[in-house]
Chains A and B, each alone.
Chain A
Amino acid sequence: MLQAQKKHARFLFMFIFPAFIIYTVFMLLPILNSMKYSLYSGDGLIPDTFVGLDNYVKLFTEERYFSKFWNALGNNIKFFLIVTFIQNILGFFMAVFVTRSFKGNKFMRKLSFLPTTLSVLVVGFIFKLILNPYYGVFDKVLEAVGLGKFIIPWLGDPRSALIIVSIAVSWQFFGESVLFYSSGIDGIDDSILEAARIDGANIWHEIIHIILPSVLPIVGIVTILIFIGDFTQFDIVYAMTGYRGDPGYSTDLMGSLFYRTAFATTERGGWGTGMGAAVATMMFIIVTLGVGILLAFFNKKKEDMTK
């Protein structure tokens, strides 16, 4: 480490400045400016009339606004819970399996990450096509194995559409959780596992007493990343059920609500740029609160475990 001196100050500034300016002006400032725009209203593209908190008052007191907002938030919470269950809990067990020694485990670890490399849009479209009631392969398989009577229009039924959308996202990002947890399990000292096995610990003991405490910080990170991704998710809804979150807004998430309200014309569900900015600000508050709560929760868990 070089103690920076006066003569280095110029270089320090030169080295840091380009990244600093691009990142600040095009990533941090836009979020702050969007908060500012949420206090303005206007008929054109640019909100130019200062209205104070009027947009927020409208958002929470006028039914045409708040019904959509609470609906999207409720859907988003369900969506997050399903994805967390699959990616976090099932993903954790899959990582435990993948890290055991068996023929082909290297290949499995490579393969598990493959869906993550596809675009969310493509994954959504593939699922939509496979589930199509006319030519989709999924229903044909169900018929072939004699489960034809359980077929419903998967993406056309409000009871199943959100669950299917959640499963599609989980299918895509499952491998990311597996990769993170696997690298955590790889980091556990082999001698600890050996000692446990000599003491006759079975796999449950191993998981509860050794693996879970060691990878707990990673569980925290994965959960936080899933949370941020899920509460800003848009592509999957656009691909599978359209930007209105059909059927009947049952798959509308915060991300699709934001897209529609801020960037669509009034006849397609737009609320004007100022209202759209207010929706984005609410999303920012939800994400920040959620991340704060999750951080506190996992820190507390960590303390409980180290006691």
Chain B
Amino acid sequence: MMKPTKAAARILLYGIMIFYALSIILPLIIMLSTSFKSNAEIFNNPFGLPEKFNFDAYTSLFIISNYGRYFLNSIGVTVISLAVAVTVSALASYAISKYHFKYNRAIYVFFVIGLFIPIKLGTVDIMLTMLNLKIFDTLWALIIVYIAMAIPLSVFILYDYIKMIPDELSSAARIDGCSEPGIFARIIVPLVKPGLAAAGIISFIPNWNEFWFPLVLIKSREHFTIPLATGQLFGQFDTKLNLVFAVLSLASVPVIIIYLLLSSYFVKGLSAGAVKG
């Protein structure tokens, strides 16, 4: 038997939690369920679930608006930029965590300071640079910017992972005549796979959702990424509400699914960063 105050505290706690959970879930449910409704239904039955699931909005997005193309663009940009960023960050983290030389600390700080530098503020120069390099309005412009953006966080995460690998392994390999790049590829990389995954997964979300740089650097429709398509199409579909909600659902559902599948990575990676910082 609980004391009455204890019971009241419990009820209050559950009350707060239910309210909090609903405040998160309801907007997303509204978004998804509206995307399956007809326009008349949106006005007449705003709260209820759709009478029947009607996929018209989605089929027309893929057929009329070339949505498959935007998805491929986004996937390509994200995969290439994160793969490159994690690879070059792993190499750099290995050098600054496993070799003792004069500037270890300075180079580490130099990279990590990027966590606090808003790259947006350099956009004027980035735009002019991309024009000079003749890659303005191509996906390469985005890929390069996104690699740079992901490096500070990747170094910050990978440095800790690589530091934890015992030195005996690489010393033994060195005695056996293994080269330095060989040690990195054969010993460090296999052992630090969870770290590589963590770095990639944590950078995935900001990368996938990034809207500012496509807005400034991409002009042609065939190079739109999902966030840019979302921003541009939202205004055009003003009168077709189910299409608008379908556009938003398409931009969010893949990310939500990936988060639910990999949530332990997010929580671990981010918490470690917070506590260490």
Contact = CB atoms under 8 A, between A and B. Distances in A.
B166 to A, nearest CB: 11
A1 to B, nearest CB: 5
A146 interface: no
Contacts of B31: 126, 129
Given A120-B211, A183-B275, A23 B24 contact: no
Contacts of B34: 129
Interface stretch (A25-33, A52-60, A66-74, A190-198): A25-33
Interface string B82-125: 00000011011011101111000001000100101111111111
A255 to B, nearest CB: 7
A151 B251 CA distance: 30
B211 A221 contact: no
B122 A33 contact: yes
Interface in B1-46: 10, 13-14, 16-17, 20-21, 23-25, 27-28, 30-31, 34, 42-43, 46
Contact of A100 (B13, B119, B147, B267): B13
Interface stretch (A204-212, A233-241, A299-307): A233-241
B4 to A, nearest CB: 15
Contacts of B88: 18-19, 22
Main secondary structure of the interface of A (DSSP, over half): helix
A112 B92 contact: no
A82 interface: no
Contact of B270 (A25, A45, A179, A235): A179
Nearest to B180: A11
Contacts of A113: 259, 263, 266-267
A110 B263 contact: yes
A12 B125 contact: no
Contacts of A122: 209, 230, 248, 251-252
A216 to B, nearest CB: 13
B54 interface: no
Contacts of B212: 234-235, 259
A31 B122 contact: yes
A59 B127 CA distance: 22
Among A32, A114, A115: residue with most chain B CB under 10 A: A114
A33 B128 CA distance: 10
B117 A31 contact: yes
Interface string B163-175: 0000100110000
B274 A2 contact: no
B205 A183 contact: no
A130 interface: yes
Contacts of B127: 263
A3 B47 contact: no
A135 interface: yes
Contacts of A2: 98-100, 167, 170-171
A16 B158 CA distance: 13
A173 to B, nearest CB: 12
A46 B127 CA distance: 10
A129 B245 contact: yes
Size bracket of the A interface: 35 or more
A104 B43 CA distance: 36
Interface in A216-256: 217-218, 221-222, 224, 228, 232, 234-235, 238-239, 255
B75 interface: no
A236 to B, nearest CB: 10
Contacts of A11: 95, 180-181
A108 B88 CA distance: 36
Interface string A109-136: 1111111111111100111011000010
A183 B124 contact: no
B271 A16 contact: no
Contacts of B170: 2
A65 interface: no
A164 interface: no
A187 interface: yes
A150 interface: no
Contacts of B13: 97, 100, 102
A238 B76 CA distance: 25
Interface in B222-236: 227, 230-231, 234
B79 interface: no
A145 interface: no
Contact of A238 (B16, B124, B231): B231
Nearest to B181: A11
18 contacts: A12-B101, A16-B91, A23-B114, A27-B149, A27-B151, A31-B122, A34-B123, A112-B24, A113-B267, A115-B24, A117-B266, A118-B255, A171-B23, A179-B270, A179-B274, A218-B277, A228-B118, A263-B216
